[in-house]
Amino acid sequence: MGPVNTTSNNNNYTVDGVMKDGTSGTAQNITWTTSIDGSPTSPITLSNRWIYKFQNVSNSYANWTSLTQTSPLAVAQGFTLKGSGAATATQNYTFVGKPNNAAITTTVASTNLNLCGNPYPSAIDANAFITVNSTAITGTLYFWQHSSTNNTHVLSGYQGGYAAINLTGGIAPVAPSLINGLGSSAKVPKRYIPVGQGFFVVGSAVGGTITFDNSIRGFIKEDDAVNSTTLFKNSTTIPNQNSLYYNAEDVVATDTFKRVRIGMKSTDNYYRQILLGFMENNATEGYDVGYDGINIDTQLNDMYFMNSGLKLNIQGVGYFDATKSYPLGIKANSAGVVNISLDNTENIDTNQNVYIFDATTGEYHDITTTPYSVSLPQGLTENRFSLTFTDNTTLTSTNYNLQNGITIAYANSSSVLSIKNNIVDTTIEQIKLYNMLGQEVAIYSVKDQNQQNILVPIKNFSTGTYIVKVKTDKGDTERKIVFN
């Protein structure tokens, strides 16, 4: 919404100018105070000490910019504030003014954060927004959710966190650093962003113009449990389509992509959810803008997928393949027991089990119904766990043959990795190199080489210890090699 006029659209606005108290059914001007707390008076009283924006700056808490209720905001800029302290779970806010329409733009610099907001009097399609802005932003949107029972003004006492969504799907919020905890929320953002909802975007490596336009708008109600996030009571009656009040939603095709969400609960009760989505032809095994999501916070406790040297909370890959595995990393603030659980699946066969493979013990743990509990030291645990869909325990004898039948040596004088395959009817297809952080640093296709004498030149690698992973048509094996 913007100021009412007859000459122009999409004008700058102020919080006081467009946001009103709708409790009584009639929009009333909000009473503003400079005190710390608001109050559920009639009309409601809000504190202007908590109005902030975060526009096109680096990820630092100090970069929040304080506003007042009369400070001008550009159309696509979002803002935050605190409520009246009403005892009810929700407060009725009414937005008034001239509705925004058509093209609206703002800018974001390289790797900077920008607090945007849905500027239209309708929902917007997150998938369409991400696609339209794929060159300017990283392709993941972040939504803050505050616990409804948490009313402290002390940052370290906040209970809340950032949920995220991209083209692969959404994940529940997690408490960032400096925050006490998440509270009880498990809300996952859906494809359509409601009216008035603010969200963060992150500038791509080059940044650029962020565009809102009518092509990303849709008529989706907030009580749509499939497509929207905020839930209200469903209407049980649908007016006749010829009626003036016909209120049917836009038709949204239901996708059939397979998705798996797993969660990690730390020993001090922090919870992190991550998502693996099988996006078929739309994504690859590498990093894909809009399909892979990096967390914007540094967490004391965390779990993530490790891919292409990145730590991902949302990972989009190609077609589902039960034989593949997806490396996990875990960060623990305190030593103790960590639980890894299966939160939910979408479009996955009900007979398909989900496993966590523990490379330290060599065991597969079925988390389909029971979480995997494991004691971990403080700090990072990488190169140990992976998510997979096949229990390869029965292949122990084959793996043993691979371990003993494939030799790997490195000649420092010639900087050549020499691999000999002494197993009949087994073909080495691929060689991968990982550093000790679990990051893939090189990949070589060798299936067409002489299997008895595979030679891989090693160039431009720093001195140190590396993991050589040998992929064969009968399974995988790996060794540690030192490059001098």
Tell me how far apart the alpha carbons of residues 306 and 403 are, in angstroms, rounded to a whole number: 25
Q: What are phi and psi of 17, to 5 degrees?
A: -75, -30
Domain boundary among 193, 218, 243: 218
Q: Are residues 204 and 58 in the same domain?
A: yes
202 within domain boundaries: yes
Task: Indicate the number of domains in the chain.
Answer: 3
The pLDDT of residue 230 is 52
Residue 179 DSSP symbol: -
Q: Do residues 315 and 307 lie in contact, with contact meaning Cβ atoms separated by under 8 Å?
A: yes
Tell me how far apart the alpha carbons of residues 283 and 316 are, in angstroms, rounded to a whole number: 6
The pLDDT of residue 336 is 94
Q: Structure pTM?
A: 0.76
Q: Are residues 276 and 214 in the same domain?
A: no
The pLDDT of residue 228 is 61
Buried b (16+ CB within 10 A) or exposed e, 19-44: bbbbbeeebeebebeeeebbebeebb
Retrieve residue 151's tokens: 């009313």
Closest CA to 276 of 194, 347, 205, 203: 347
The pLDDT of residue 50 is 95
Q: Are residues 386 and 410 in the same domain?
A: no
Tell me how far apart the alpha carbons of residues 52 and 62 are, in angstroms, rounded to a whole number: 11
The pLDDT of residue 299 is 80
414 within domain boundaries: yes
Residue numbers in the chain where pLDDT is lower than 70: 88-89, 184, 223-248, 298, 394-401
213 within domain boundaries: yes
Tell me how far apart the alpha carbons of residues 450 and 287 are, in angstroms, rounded to a whole number: 32
User: pLDDT of 96-141, one tens digit each?
Assistant: 999 999 999 999 999 999 999 999 999 999 999 999 999 999 999 9
Tell me the torsion sign for CA atoms 248, 217, 115, 113: positive
225 within domain boundaries: no
Q: Spell out the residues 6+ positions from residue 339 whose beta carbon is closer than 8 angstroms to its own.
A: 264, 265, 371, 372, 373
CA 436 to chain centre: 25
232 within domain boundaries: no
9 within domain boundaries: no
Q: Which CATH number fits the domain that encloses residue 424?
A: 2.60.40.3080
Q: Are residues 469 and 440 in the same domain?
A: yes
The pLDDT of residue 397 is 46
Q: Are residues 349 and 407 in the same domain?
A: no
Give the side-chain half-sphere CA count within 13 A for 132. 18
Q: Are residues 53 and 162 in the same domain?
A: yes
User: pLDDT of 36-61, one tens digit each?
Assistant: 999 999 999 999 999 999 998 888 88
Provide the β-strand partners of residue 328. Answer: 305, 385
Q: Do residues 205 and 111 lie in contact, with contact meaning Cβ atoms separated by under 8 Å?
A: yes
Dihedral angle, C-alpha 298, 303, 309, 314, nearest 10 °: -100
Domain boundary among 331, 359, 390: 390
Q: Are residues 314 and 438 in the same domain?
A: no
Q: Are residues 75 and 129 in the same domain?
A: yes
The secondary structure of the chain in percent helix, strand, coil, rounded to multiples of 5, reads 10, 40, 50
Retrieve residue 297's tokens: 């916070």
The pLDDT of residue 31 is 97
Q: Are residues 270 and 311 in the same domain?
A: yes
CA separation, residue 254 to residues 33, 61, 132, 194 (Å): 47, 38, 21, 19
Q: Are residues 351 and 373 in the same domain?
A: yes
72 within domain boundaries: yes
Closest CA to 313 of 436, 150, 163: 163
Domain boundary among 163, 197, 218: 218
Q: Are residues 378 and 264 in the same domain?
A: yes
97 within domain boundaries: yes
Tell me how far apart the alpha carbons of residues 371 and 359 are, in angstroms, rounded to a whole number: 17
Q: Spell out the residues 6+ positions from residue 304 whose beta carbon is closer than 8 angstroms to its own.
A: 274, 295, 311, 312, 313, 328, 329
User: pLDDT of 371-397, one tens digit each?
Assistant: 999 999 999 999 899 999 998 775 444
* E strand residue ranges, 26-166: 31-33, 45-47, 52-53, 65-66, 93-95, 104-108, 113-117, 123-125, 141-146, 160-165
Q: Are residues 410 and 336 in the same domain?
A: no
Residue range(s) defining the domain that contains residue 410: 403-483
CA 294 to chain centre: 6
